[in-house]
Amino acid sequence: MSTGLAVAAPSVRTRRPGLRYLHAEWTKLRTAPETVWLAAGIVVATVAVSALVAANMPCGTAVCGGDPTKAGLTGVQLGQALVAILAVLAVGGEYGTGMIHSTLAAMPRRAGLLAAKALVVTCVVAPAAVVAVAGSALLGRHLLPGAAGLPAVLRATGGTVLYLMLIGLLAIGVTAIVRNAAAAVGVVLALLYLFPILAAAAPDPHWERHLLQIGPMTAGLAVQATTGLDKLPIGPWAGLGVTAAWAFGALLVGGVALAARDA
Distance CA 81, CA 192 (A): 9
* φ and ψ of 92, to 5 deg: -70, -25
Exposure b/e, 240-255, CB count within 10 A at least 16 = b: bbbbbebbeebbeebb
Q: What is the pLDDT along the chain (263 residues), one digit of tens a residue?
A: 344 434 333 444 444 767 888 988 999 998 988 999 999 999 999 999 999 988 887 765 555 667 888 988 999 999 999 999 999 999 888 888 888 888 888 888 889 999 999 999 999 999 999 999 999 998 887 777 765 678 888 999 999 999 999 999 999 999 999 999 999 999 999 999 999 999 999 888 899 999 999 999 999 999 999 888 889 999 999 999 999 999 999 999 999 999 887 76
Exposure b/e, 20-36, CB count within 10 A at least 16 = b: bbbebbbebbeeeeebe
Percentage helix, strand, coil for the chain under 3-state DSSP, each rounded to 5: 80, 0, 20
The torsion angle over the Cα atoms of residues 164, 169, 175 and 178, rounded to 10 degrees, is -110
Long-range contacts of 28-33 (CB under 8 A, 24+ apart): 28/90, 29/90, 29/120, 29/121, 29/124, 30/124, 32/89, 32/93
Query: How many helices and strands, by DSSP H and E, does the chain display?
Result: 12, 0
* φ and ψ of 169, to 5 deg: -65, -40
Angle at 220 between CA 216 and CA 224, to 5 degrees: 150
pTM for the full predicted model: 0.90
